[in-house]
Amino acid sequence: MKIDIIGSGVSGLCCAHAFLERACEVRVISASDALDSSCCSWWAGGMLAPGCEGESAEPLIAALGVESMKFWQALTPNYTRAGTLVLATSRDRPLLDNFARNTQGWQKLASTQMQDLEPDLAERFNSGLLFADEAHLDPRQSLGQLIEQLKSRGVEFTQRVIDDGPGNEYSSVADWIIDCRGLGAAHQLPDLRGVKGEMLHIHSTEISLSRPVRLLHPRIPLYIVPRANGVFMIGATMIESTERSRASVRSVLELLSAAYALHPAFGEAEIIEIGVDARPAFNDNLPRLRRRGKTLSVNGMYRHGFLAAPAMARRCVEFALDGIIPKEVMDENTP
Ligand SMILES: Cc1cc2nc3c(=O)[nH]c(=O)nc-3n(C[C@H](O)[C@H](O)[C@H](O)COP(=O)(O)OP(=O)(O)OC[C@H]3O[C@@H](n4cnc5c(N)ncnc54)[C@H](O)[C@@H]3O)c2cc1C
């Protein structure tokens, strides 16, 4: 069977992999040069945190997440299962209690355990919540590896902008077209919206972290994800907007002040990159598989692209090839 995948962010690449596994002939067509800074996936933290996300997300996200984590673990050597540490300053302590009440799968840490796990933070934070089963990865590295793997197995990548505005349908000889354009498909999905996220990469040799750390705050909750060689990803704002390119001074100031509150050594760090994109999201912030003729759209990943895309890709393939309707992510009448 011939499959055209449109889009080479995390959704498109996971779908390409899933169809290839079922011996389909797969072609990826994308406005981006495979993966580049024009994809939302480029800017992600790469946190695989189904337990923490349970604080605000539906249980479906955790279910998709647990399945997806197995995919990433098998695929990428930079998958690190070191858990997530959730902290609050003493002033915001009620937020930590609230977070604990609204989530599962954590263990409360005493100060000696903090010292063992994250010695650089133990002086300022003498308790926290550890979600030991959670993991993280470097999105650019992991998706780069996935692209190389797909290419070596014969998947063709073509750089092309698909213009399917009114009266201009995309036509193809493929048996199925899998539309994974994220916000680039908003004109076909009127209920898709953008949730702007701003982030930074900074470099510091004065502090080291072994796992993603979330610092709870009433206005701007922060997370920091350690990358290799002293680089840290700081994220991320959540603003109702489809704006994909401008980071505001206020957002950058707030993210950096929160990092400084986590540890003053971040005040001496070097800013490497400031990034922005808008997460593609439906009203309930859950991903969807939708059909339009022989086009299947996989979209609405919101802040869960890495957590949900491999599991969504499996459902997309099973729908296309086996006729199995994944009711939990397909909310329309399907022929
Ligand atoms: C700051 C930030 C931090 C995040 N952190 C995390 C995290 O820690 N964990 C997590 O799971 N998720 C995270 N996310 C969310 C995640 O990044 C998104 O859910 C995910 O990237 C969406 O992927 P996608 O493949 O659907 O879209 P995209 O990555 O945007 O890919 C869309 C693709 O479609 C192509 N395209 C668009 N229009 C056209 C067109 N007309 N013709 C051809 N091609 C087109 C683009 O070039 C691109 O290749 C974060 C997001 C942000 C912004």
Predicted confidence (pLDDT) per residue in 258-298, tens digit: 999 999 999 999 999 999 999 999 999 999 999 999 999 99
pLDDT band for position 333 (cuts 50, 70, 90): low
What average pLDDT does the structure give for the chain?
A: 95
- The confidence score (pLDDT) of residue 235 equals 95
- The confidence score (pLDDT) of residue 334 equals 52
CA-based Rg of the chain, rounded to a whole angstrom? 20
- Ligand 1 in contact with 236 (CB < 6 A)? yes
- The confidence score (pLDDT) of residue 114 equals 94
Mean pLDDT of the 226-251 span = 96
Q: Are 238 and 277 in contact (CB under 8 A)?
A: no
- Ligand 1 in contact with 147 (CB < 6 A)? no
- Ligand 1 in contact with 287 (CB < 6 A)? no
Which residue's alpha carbon is at the smallest distance from atom 26 of ligand 1?
182
- The confidence score (pLDDT) of residue 332 equals 62
Q: What is the pLDDT of residues 215-237, one digit of tens each?
A: 999 888 899 999 999 999 999 99
Mean pLDDT of the 208-212 span = 97
Ligand 1 pocket test: pick from 80, 279, 304, 329 the residue with the most ligand atoms within 8 Å of its Cβ: 279
Q: Is the peptide bond before 313 cis (omega within 30 degrees of 0)?
A: no
Calculate how far, in angstroms, residue 237's C-alpha sits from the geometric centre of ligand 1.
15
Q: Are 131 and 124 in contact (CB under 8 A)?
A: no
Calculate how far, in angstroms, residue 40's C-alpha sits from the geometric centre of ligand 1.
3
% of the chain residues with pLDDT over 90: 93
Q: Is the pLDDT of residue 335 over 60?
A: no
- The confidence score (pLDDT) of residue 165 equals 84
Which tokens belong to 28? 């990826």
Calculate the CA 8 to chain-centre distance.
Answer: 14
Q: ∠ CA 86-52-116 to the nearest 5 degrees? A: 35
- The confidence score (pLDDT) of residue 281 equals 98
- The confidence score (pLDDT) of residue 167 equals 80
Calculate how far, in angstroms, residue 42's C-alpha sits from the geometric centre of ligand 1.
7
- Which ligand 1 atom sits closest to the C-alpha of 307? 11
Q: What is the pLDDT of residues 54-101, one digit of tens each?
A: 999 999 999 999 999 999 999 999 999 999 999 999 999 999 999 999
- Ligand 1 in contact with 32 (CB < 6 A)? yes
- The confidence score (pLDDT) of residue 34 equals 87
Q: Is the pLDDT of residue 128 over 80?
A: yes
Residues in Cβ contact with 72 at an 8 Å cutoff, skipping those fewer than 6 apart: 48, 79, 135, 137, 142, 306, 310
Q: Are 15 and 178 in contact (CB under 8 A)?
A: yes
Calculate how far, in angstroms, residue 313's C-alpha sits from the geometric centre of ligand 1.
14
Which residue's alpha carbon is at the smallest distance from atom 21 of ligand 1?
41
Q: What is the Cα–Cα distance from 183 to 281, expressed in whole angstroms?
A: 8
- Ligand 1 in contact with 306 (CB < 6 A)? yes
pTM of the model: 0.97
Mean pLDDT of the 207-211 span = 97
Spell out the domains of the chain, with CATH numbers in brackets.
2-70+138-191+283-329 (3.40.50.720), 84-132+193-281 (3.30.9.10)
- The confidence score (pLDDT) of residue 166 equals 81
Q: What is the pLDDT of residues 9-56, one digit of tens each?
A: 999 999 999 999 999 999 999 999 889 999 999 999 999 999 999 999
- Ligand 1 in contact with 212 (CB < 6 A)? no
- Which ligand 1 atom sits closest to the C-alpha of 47? 8
What is the dihedral sign for C-alpha 274, 280, 283, 289? negative
